[in-house]
Amino acid sequence: MPNLERQLPPPLAILHELAADLQWSWNHSGDALWHRLNPAIWESTGNPVSVLQFTSDQHLQQLAKDPDFLTHLAQLVAARRRYLDEPGWYQQHYSNVPLKGIAYFSMEFGVCDALPLYAGGLGILAGDYLKTASDLGVPLVGVGLLYQEGYFRQSFDNQGWQQQTYLFNDPGSLPLTPLLDKDGSWMDVATNFLCREVLFRVWVAQVGRVKLYLLDSNHPCNQPRDRGITSQLYGGGTELRLVQEIALGIGGWRLLERLGLEIDICHLNEGHAAFATLERIRAHCVKYQVDFWQALWATRSGNLFTTHTPVAAGFDRYPSELLRRYAGEAALEMGVTMEDILALGRANPKDASEEFNMAYLAMRTCARSNGVSELHGQVSQRIFQPLFPRWPQREVPVGHVTNGVHMPSWAASDSDALWRQLFGDNPWQQNETQLNPARWQELSDQTLWQLASTSRARLVDYARLRYQRQWRHESSQLDCSLPNLHPLDPNILTLGFARRFAEYKRPDLLLHDPERLTRLLCNSRHPVQLLVAGKAHPADKLGKAKLQRWQEFVQRDEVAKHLIFIEDYDIALARHLVQGVDVWINNPRRPWEACGTSGMKVLVNGGLNLSSLDGWWAEAYDPAYGWALGDGGEYGAEQDAADAEALYQLLEQQIIPCFYERDAEDIPRRWLQLMRTSMAQLTPRFSTNRMLRDYLDNYYLPAARQYQQRMDKQGALAQELRLWQQHLARHWHEIHLGKLTMTERAGNWLAETQVYLGGIAPEQVAIEMIADPVGEVPAECIRLQLAYPLTGAINAYHYQGVIPQHRPVSDWSLRAIACHPHAQVPAENPLICWAD
């Protein structure tokens, strides 16, 4: 195994195992040990594998005889074994549930910077998800790709224009091991592209209790072009992107089949991974000797699609001809035509001119789908409305699970100590409801203020070091001297603004009035400092132009001590920022921020949020612990000037005065109450502990039960559902809803109608009365009951039901929908008929 070849002294041999387990990325009890092995390498890389590779034999031999080092090592090994061996929260609370296993597919995973397989929030969320599954003991595996080049590293030229550098991911220096087959050889999986077989090597990253499997096309048997399939995260053009998504989905599911893992739930983290559902169908066809459509009904109930996209234009779309070229062989293997596959990815299955939409494929092959915040769930219902014609938008089958963050990954050591003081040694390995908010009243204001001050000072020290490094590499060869200044001050209000520089995030909104921002920062009585970071996509010229505006602004002499732009935004920088800022600013244009988790990361450390009412903040905001920008409406760029003015006013009139409002002990009591309330109320609510429990209770467990029901008795239920769907499709046009009458009876309405079902049995449909929301009155749906058959008519019935009289008759409409006790309607069958 490439990264385990070096022989260590026997007392230190266990270090290889510790280095390969990414638990060190959030359990920092071993940081001092790795630092002692090689301070320079540890501080530069944060990668224990590199530490072991670059430490001399002499030093290793010395440490192998050092009793203090060996004691520390023994403590780490014992703690890790307890963590791995003791029953987790899941085993304690879900011991009798039907869930066997979950496979979590994602194009990127941001576990730590030592494994740079992420570009932004999607990957960071996936990394946090794996860590939480490990902490709680949830039976989950991750599936992704190992890119030869991860996302780019950032620098700037003399004009302030972003430059990209792509570093090679040397697997031998990454915390990975090759996955070995039963015969001892390196495991690989095969996928066909363009009439030839392409092999993918398999690596495994240990994330505590969870395994992350990574596919790598750099196999010696592949043609040179094929070895480049996993060359770069989000690199290349449309064709390479499609091939990568096929590799992830089809290759990833084939790997799970090869490993013999019992997987109930296939969870797609965005539509990128949707080909996994097709490969799951193909594998089911082969194993159980059934056709594609029965296999779809059997497997769909075990698939979950999480969308992170707030606008339809953000979905991956591919020309039909490209799909035919790369997926034609797969269609043949599944026993269907390419037209059948293409139809799954179109809003109108019969429109040959419509491009293939990966999100549509995911929706059609997953029985359950969700957005990543309450608002985003509603936005997604609007986006996916074309797949459910004639259904009310509110009934489009997209729910929501608001994202969270893995608090141990983002908590500063001092913050972590306070949480442990209040809630025990493992506050994040238990149910978040046990973190009683009232306990925070036990902490004094002095303790909280010391936490804020210490964290801010630590951030200032770190930011200065990063600033010095980037100054050195940007200086000319003739003058490498550092400027005679010390930016930032550990005792003044510190704002953080760091994110992907995309237009909808309005990353230059603070620069709307540069002079006003200058005055705000440089106020001699109430000074403020601002730390900015972020990357633009390499192809996003508008985002790069907004970065350039910041590069020009930071050159102003008057702001030099109050503002720095820290280049190359990564996990390490993000962690330091969220641990030390007083206020985190986020000002996207609603409703374009699907969730946005960066502001959640400050909660555990006592940081406060100033954000647009978008994403998670739309459901979290309360003036008791933060500030809101905007009125919650949806506007275009014409609103930017007004929002910039509101942003300045919030800072000038509320936030800055509150921070500098001190008592005789120089303590900002009102500010600390905001901190205390935010930490107590929001931190548990927006942790991945809560998020994963929501997925378990609302998605995974119901889906696992339904999937196993469809698998029982040689798939009898799946076959029944397929026949039900076919029968309804043939006869749906025969349904006729008669005249609706509403008669007042005992303070209610008695609704009555005649229904002519043609060739459809009554138990196969539901007849419903439905009313839209009006003002404060919510939407309502009442199912009518079959009263008796109509005399002289074939398969016709009288339906009736009691309707409350609190709204007028004109609010109500009559409809028929498909109905089966074991089907997800309308996700799996969107047939609907409205009365004239």
> What's the pLDDT score for residue 236?
83
Between the alpha carbon of residue 188 and those of residues 61, 150, 199, 433, 553, the distances in Å are 38, 21, 6, 43, 51
Strands 780-783 and 356-357: unpaired
Residue among 149, 175, 231, 155 nearest 569 (CA): 155
Residue 690 falls within a domain, yes or no? Answer: no
Confidence of residue 228 (pLDDT cuts 50, 70, 90): very high
pLDDT reading at 472 higher than 90: no
333 and 207, same domain (yes or no): yes
Q: Which residue bears the tokens 């192809």? A: 539
In Å, how far from its chain's centre is CA 797? Answer: 48
Residue 119 falls within a domain, yes or no? Answer: yes
Asked whether the beta carbons of 338 and 331 are under 8 A apart, the reply is yes
Residue 305 falls within a domain, yes or no? Answer: yes
143 and 289, same domain (yes or no): yes
pLDDT reading at 818 higher than 60: yes
Confidence of residue 474 (pLDDT cuts 50, 70, 90): low
How far apart are alpha carbons 277 and 375 in whole angstroms?
27
> What's the pLDDT score for residue 477?
56
Residue 613, φ and ψ in degrees, nearest 5: -80, 70
What would the mean pLDDT of 576-605 be, rounded to a whole number? 97
Asked whether the beta carbons of 578 and 462 are under 8 A apart, the reply is no
Range of the domain at 629: 428-685
Report DSSP state, residue 6. S
73 and 119, same domain (yes or no): no
> What's the pLDDT score for residue 3?
44
261 and 378, same domain (yes or no): yes
Count of domains observed in the chain: 4
Count of CA atoms in the C-beta half-sphere (13 A) of 637: 6
Residue 135 falls within a domain, yes or no? Answer: yes
Q: Which residue bears the tokens 């797949």? A: 387
pLDDT reading at 580 higher than 60: yes
Asked whether the beta carbons of 100 and 701 are under 8 A apart, the reply is no
Taking each helix axis from N to C terminus, what angle separates 292-299 and 275-288, rounded to the nearest 10 degrees?
110
Residue 729 falls within a domain, yes or no? Answer: no
399 and 330, same domain (yes or no): yes
Between the alpha carbon of residue 366 and those of residues 133, 206, 351, the distances in Å are 22, 28, 22
Where residue 820 sits, what CATH number does that domain have? 2.60.40
348 and 270, same domain (yes or no): yes
Q: By percentage, how much of the chain surpasses pLDDT 90?
A: 91
> What's the pLDDT score for residue 469?
85
Confidence of residue 478 (pLDDT cuts 50, 70, 90): low
pLDDT reading at 4 higher than 50: no
Q: Which residue bears the tokens 């730590």? A: 112
pLDDT digits (tens, 9 = 90+) for 676-729: 999 999 999 999 999 999 999 999 999 999 999 999 999 999 999 999 999 999
Sequence-ordered alpha helix ranges (H) in 310-435 = 320-334, 338-344, 358-365, 374-383, 407-410, 413-423
What would the mean pLDDT of 397-416 be, rounded to a whole number? 97
Instruction: Classify 531 in phi/psi space as left (phi over 0), alpha (psi -120 to 50) or beta.
Output: beta
389 and 519, same domain (yes or no): no
Confidence of residue 476 (pLDDT cuts 50, 70, 90): low
pLDDT reading at 481 higher than 80: no
595 and 498, same domain (yes or no): yes
Q: Which residue bears the tokens 């992830």? A: 248
What would the mean pLDDT of 546-564 be, rounded to a whole number? 95
C-alpha triplet 671, 677, 679: angle, nearest 5°? 100
pLDDT reading at 1 higher than 70: no
74 and 152, same domain (yes or no): no
What would the mean pLDDT of 570-593 be, rounded to a whole number? 97
Residue 551 falls within a domain, yes or no? Answer: yes
Residue 152 falls within a domain, yes or no? Answer: yes
pLDDT reading at 614 higher than 70: yes
Where residue 121 sits, what CATH number does that domain have? 3.40.50.2000
268 and 208, same domain (yes or no): yes
Asked whether the beta carbons of 711 and 298 are under 8 A apart, the reply is yes
Residue 726 falls within a domain, yes or no? Answer: no
> What's the pLDDT score for residue 676?
97
> What's the pLDDT score for residue 2?
42
436 and 466, same domain (yes or no): yes
pLDDT reading at 442 higher than 70: yes
Give 294-319 as a DSSP string.
HHHHHHGGGEEEE---SSGGGS-EE-
pLDDT digits (tens, 9 = 90+) for 245-300: 999 999 999 999 999 999 999 999 999 999 999 999 999 999 999 999 999 999 99
What would the mean pLDDT of 368-382 be, rounded to a whole number? 98
Confidence of residue 638 (pLDDT cuts 50, 70, 90): very high
> What's the pLDDT score for residue 404?
98
258 and 390, same domain (yes or no): yes
Asked whether the beta carbons of 461 and 501 are under 8 A apart, the reply is no
